[in-house]
Structures are given as C-alpha cells and as structure tokens.
Structure 1
Amino acid sequence: MNNPYGSPPGRHGHAPYPYPQHPQAPYPQHGHGAPQRHVPQEPPDPDKRRRVVGLGLWIVGMLAGVVLNILFTMAEIFLSKAPGRMLSAVLTGALFAFLPLGFYLFVPMVLDRYDPEPWWCLAMAFLWGAVVATGFAGMINTGVHIVFAGLFGPKVGNFMTTVVSAPLSEELFKGLAILGFFYFLRREFDGVVDGIIYATFCALGFAAVENVSYYARADMADQLGTTFFLRGVLAPWGHPLYTSMTGIGFGIARESSRTWVRWVAPIGGFFVGVFLHALWNFVPTVIPNAFVVMLLFWLLFVAAFFCIIVALVMRKGRTIRQFLRDEVLLGNLSQDELELVCSPVGRIKCTFDGRGAEGRAFIRAASRLALSKWHTARAMKGQKRTISADFIGPLRRELATLRAALRAKAPR
C-alpha cells in the first residue's frame, strides 16, 4: 500500500497534501505601517449538520421503540394465563439475558484494539438494537403472524413469522443502525472492522431484549436451563453474525471509491445476513432432527469468522502505521510515538504509565488522522471527493495540542 501523498516538504520542494495547508498570510499594513497579526479562525465542523440530523432521528426512533417495547411487555404479562407468574418469569428472563452481556460486549472491544470506537457510539448502537430494532421488528412479526395464522392456520403463521418475516424485519432495523453510522457519523466509520463492531453491539442489544421473552416463556414451561444453554452459551453470536454481514457490506462501501460497489455491497451484505438468519430459523422449524448437525457446522462457521475479524483488525493496524510514517518525517510524531500509536496495547500503557486519558486521546487522534488520510488517498486515486479530507487539518491540530500537553506533564 503506497502513500500517494508524495514526499514531505524540504525533500522535493512541495507539500505532500493536495488540500489547503493554511499558510500564514503576510501581515496587512495599517496606519503607520505597523503589522497587524491575522488570527486564523477555526474552520467549521465539516459534518456537524449530518450529526445533528442523525441524532434527531436516533432520538425519534428510541422514543417509538420504548413505547412499542412497553406495549409488548405488558401484553405478554397481562394476556398470559397467570400474569403474576409471568411477571416473575420476565424478571428472571431479564436477569439471565443481561448478566452475560459483560462478557459478550468485552469480546468486540478487545478485538478492536487500534482504533476503538467511542463509547457513546457503541452505546447508541447497542440501544438502537435493544429498543428500536426489537420494537419495530416485533410489531411487524406480530402482524405477520396474526395475518397468516388467521388465513392458513398456526403452522403457516409460525413458519412465515420465523423463517420469512423475522430475518427480513430484524436485519432491516438492525441494519439501519449501521446505515446511520455510515452516513451521519462518517468520522467514526472507517471500514469493514468498524462495520462489524457496530453491527455486533447493535445485535447484542437486540439479542438481549429478545432473550428476555424467550427465557420468560421457557421459565413458564420449566425449560429455562435448556433454553439458556442453547441461546446464551452455544449460540450467543447468532445475531451478531447475521448483522455483521450488513456491517461488512457498509464497510466495503466505505473503503471503496466505486459508485456501484457503494450501492451493491451494503445490499448484498444485508441479504447474506437475511439468508443466514433464515437458514438458522428454518432448520429447527422444518427439520428439527438435523439441528445438531446444523449447530456443529454453525460453530465452525463462527470460529472461521472470528479468525477473519482478527485478520481484518491486524490489517487496520498496518494501515495506520503506513499512513503515519510521513508524520514522523514531517515532525508531527516521533518514532517512539508512532510505535505507541501502532501498539495493540498502547492504550493500556498510557493507562498505567501516567499519560492516562490524554495519552489515550493522543493515540486516538493519531489513528483517526491516519485513517482519514487513507480514505483521502483512495478517493484521490478514484478522482473522487471525500469528507475525510476535511478531518485531516483539525486532527493534526488536535494531535499537536495533545502532544504538547503530554510533553508538559512528562517528568523532567
């Protein structure tokens, strides 16, 4: 992967970046010829409007999702034959569904070492899956079941809901979260790894809330242990796997400068996720005797996918190193600072060696700078424009500020 920006100034006499470097203008002459210092103004946030619109849509979706989930929970409790016992079962189901989340959420956070996503982005993805996706998908699935069960009987209603409606509606509303990050939070979405991370958090939120209902019904039937072992131990990564296909599609679109790829990849990823989801639901619904064999193949598939994620994370680390090398030549980073940024345990080092939050922010700013340059380089190669180019200047200034702060607090 070659750096297309060229050489640093001083070696070939030109600046390496094709965007304005904001050179200091000559002082204008006023009055008796005394120079007046021109104070450059901070450029406007390049994607502020998008982020504001995206936040507004997220809030509206959350409000609607909260209402729908409250209605579904109340209906499940009060329409049961024993509302008191069902309420107790729902609380038990919530305990079994949410307690393992500490481990589940830890796995993607450990994997994304080089440029971890902000906690508030991960929280937004998780809450969208837990509240919005469950609410709207639940409404659609309930409607489909009522219609088809009324027309063709309960077996057809169950099949259409489980194998057709659930994969389509659930992957659609989980996928909307990834679309939101892709479009409204461009600076926080860099490629395939980010698509997988956001998809995983969104899907884990969805699965946790969905499992509350499954565990509650299992508790009512005295089958909670078996259901928890199947859904919480053997196959907790089902929803993250399906939705990651959509995340990969949007990640490929983010990394590509070809217009057709930017459209085809997300749509293709979505339908791959729908197919995997439908296949998982189809086997126990139609041919339950084959479920054990299906489960074995599924676990192998999940293991292979995990290995692919590790390889993609390592690729991301190499990309960051590649696009920070010229920052060392420019004097914006030292070689030791480059090694710190590119270390998979750099943030842990900062936590325990006194650099703390400023050190972690420094690593994040440097990683963001490298990835913004990477996106800009690919856009230039395809003769396209990317908003990532607008992030480079502000990130360099942020990096310089954090670097000065770290040097000021260093022991002398």
Structure 2
Amino acid sequence: MATSNLINCFFPNFTFIFLTSLIPIWIWWEFIYLQDEHPEPKLMLLFAIILGIVAAVFSYFSQEKIYTILGFEFNYAYYFLSALIEEFFKFILIFLFIFSVKYFDEIIDAMIYMGFAGLGFAFIETYLNVCYVLINPPQYISPFLASIAVSILRFLGANFLHMLASLLIGFGYAVTLKTRRILPFVYSFLMASFLHFLYNIFIIREDIRLLIFPILWAIYFVTLIEFKVIKIKDDRLGTYTSN
C-alpha cells in the first residue's frame, strides 16, 4: 500500500478504522484475560500488544528481504516460511522484553503475554485491511459496510488464528519452563507455524476456504484444555519465578 494512500486513509478515517480494528481484538482480550486467576498489569498487557504490532512490522520487512534473496514464488514454501517468520517475531519480542521482567512470575503468564502479542499482530493487520477497503471500495456495497464486514471476518479468521497460534507457543514455553526441556517449546512452535501455514493455504483456496473455521475452533478448545493444564501445574507445583 503506497505511503500517500495510507496518509489519505489515515487522517479522515482514523477513529472509524481504529475502532473497527480494536473491537474484535477487545473481545479476544477478555477471553485471555479471564483465564488468569492473578491478572497481569494492564499496562504490561498493552505493552505485549505493542510488541505484537512491532512484530508485524519486523515480519513484513524480513519477509520482503528474505524472499528477494531466495527468489521465492507464491508456493507452499513461501506460505510456510511466512508463517514461521511471523511466529518467530511474536515470540522473540515477548521473550526479550517481557519474559525477563518481574511481572512474569507464573508459567501461565507465558500463554497470557503470547496471546496478547498475537492480538497486537492481528490489530495492525486488520487496521491495514480496513484501510485498503476504504481506499479501494467494492462497487456494490458501501465502503464503511465493507470495512465492518472485513473486521467481522478477520475476527472469526485471522485475529482468531494469531491469538491461537500465539497461545500454542506460550503453552509450549510454559511446559518447557516447568520440565526444563526444550522439546515442548520446539514442538508447539512448529505446530503453531503449521496451523498458521494451513490457514494461509485454506484462505486462498475458495474450494476449501470454509474448512479452516472448524479447524480453528478445534484448536480453540485445545487451548482451553491447555489453560486448565497450566493452572493445575501452577497449583500443584507452585509458580515459576524468572528472577
């Protein structure tokens, strides 16, 4: 999206685009927030969201550079590497800037903060998609109605995906903290990247596009179980302290 188009979109429509992008992730915010019996400071959660936005920026430029060097086309390798890069930046920023602070004092916090990073990533993607629709409106529907439709679809799709993939990684890291074994984290990271890859493939194929939604909801119920597992581990084994 050209810089001039972004500027033209940003100023007259900022409030509308911001709210259209924020409301979907706010709903998932509440879902994640309620899983934590000892809620994290809201400023730290906001910081995790900001790190997710930064991860999206890093991912974009890293993908462009890597694809230029490797000369990738839009094939399965392209979509898998895209997913891998995005999940890497979401995790590494949370690892560097949050997992080392005093507020990270329970293993369930790994899932909480990773989930919020996923929401930040989803927020900026939705913002740009809504902006694109306003700049390039469809012919037979109001641009604002089209923007709301995009927001709803991303709430059920891409936003949901980013949150779930991040929660999977957070769960693996939490188990790694408890077991002191790296394998749970590696496994969960690869599974999250593969889920992201599947979403990318399904969403561009009209014949199987709708199949991604039952897959996402199945993963959603898996994450509910993971939250329960982590809570049991916290209760039984005590909390993890990073200091």
The reply on whether 1:103 has 2:27 as its aligned counterpart is yes
Q: Within 5 Å, which residues of 2 pair with 1:238-277?
A: 238-257=161-180, 261=181, 263-277=182-196
When residues 272 and 182 of structure 1 are mapped into structure 2, their CA distance, relative to the original with a 3 A threshold, is farther
Q: Which amino acid aligns with 1:284?
A: I
Q: CA deviation at 1:166?
A: 2.4
Query: Is the contact between residue 172 and residue 185 of structure 2 (CA under 8 Å) also seen in structure 1?
Result: yes
Query: Is the contact between residue 80 and residue 194 of structure 2 (CA under 8 Å) also seen in structure 1?
Result: no
Q: Within 5 Å, which residues of 2 pair with 1:388-403?
A: none
The corresponding residue for 1:305 is 223
Query: Is the contact between residue 105 and residue 239 of structure 2 (CA under 8 Å) also seen in structure 1?
Result: no
C-alpha distance in structure 1 between counterparts of 2:85 and 2:95, whole Å: 15
The corresponding residue for 2:127 is 212
Tell me the secondary structure at the aligned position of residue 99 of structure 1: helix
Residue of structure 2 aligned with 1:371, choices 222, 239, 242: 239
Structure ranking higher on relative contact order (CA contacts 8 Å, 6+ apart): 2
The corresponding residue for 2:87 is 171
C-alpha distance in structure 2 between counterparts of 1:271 and 1:244, whole Å: 13
The reply on whether 1:185 has 2:101 as its aligned counterpart is yes
Cα deviation 1:306-325 (Å, max 9, x = unaligned): 2442x236415633xxx7xx
The reply on whether 1:315 has 2:183 as its aligned counterpart is no
C-alpha distance in structure 1 between counterparts of 2:91 and 2:170, whole Å: 8
Tell me the secondary structure at the aligned position of residue 116 of structure 1: coil
C-alpha distance in structure 2 between counterparts of 1:184 and 1:200, whole Å: 17
Query: Is the contact between residue 167 and residue 223 of structure 2 (CA under 8 Å) also seen in structure 1?
Result: no
Tell me the secondary structure at the aligned position of residue 86 of structure 2: helix
Quick check: which has more Rg, 1 or 2?
1
Query: Is the contact between residue 106 and residue 234 of structure 2 (CA under 8 Å) also seen in structure 1?
Result: no
When residues 179 and 95 of structure 1 are mapped into structure 2, their CA distance, relative to the original with a 3 A threshold, is same
Q: CA deviation at 1:186?
A: 6.3
Q: Which amino acid aligns with 2:93?
A: A
The corresponding residue for 1:360 is none
When residues 265 and 181 of structure 1 are mapped into structure 2, their CA distance, relative to the original with a 3 A threshold, is farther
Query: Is the contact between residue 174 and residue 203 of structure 1 (CA under 8 Å) also seen in structure 2?
Result: yes
Q: CA deviation at 1:208?
A: 0.4
When residues 91 and 138 of structure 1 are mapped into structure 2, their CA distance, relative to the original with a 3 A threshold, is farther
Q: CA deviation at 1:174?
A: 0.4
Cα deviation 1:351-401 (Å, max 9, x = unaligned): xxxxxxxxxxxxxxxxxxx526xx7xxxxxxxxxxx66xxxxxxxxxxxxx
Name structure 1 gaps, 5 residues minimum.
1-74, 324-369, 376-386, 389-412
Tell me the secondary structure at the aligned position of residue 221 of structure 1: coil
Residue of structure 2 aligned with 1:137, choices 46, 59, 63: 59
Q: Which amino acid aligns with 1:190?
A: E
C-alpha distance in structure 2 between counterparts of 1:159 and 1:87, whole Å: 38
When residues 92 and 146 of structure 1 are mapped into structure 2, their CA distance, relative to the original with a 3 A threshold, is farther
Identical-residue share of aligned pairs (%): 19
RMSD: 3.1
Query: Is the contact between residue 56 and residue 124 of structure 2 (CA under 8 Å) also seen in structure 1?
Result: yes
The corresponding residue for 1:283 is 202
The corresponding residue for 1:94 is 18
C-alpha distance in structure 1 between counterparts of 2:101 and 2:133, whole Å: 40
Name structure 2 gaps, 5 residues minimum.
139-145
Task: Calculate the TM-score normalised by the size of structure 1.
Answer: 0.50
Query: Is the contact between residue 171 and residue 243 of structure 1 (CA under 8 Å) also seen in structure 2?
Result: yes
Q: How many residues are paired up?
A: 235
Q: Which amino acid aligns with 1:281?
A: N
Q: CA deviation at 1:267?
A: 2.4
Query: Is the contact between residue 203 and residue 239 of structure 1 (CA under 8 Å) also seen in structure 2?
Result: yes
Query: Is the contact between residue 9 and residue 131 of structure 2 (CA under 8 Å) also seen in structure 1?
Result: no
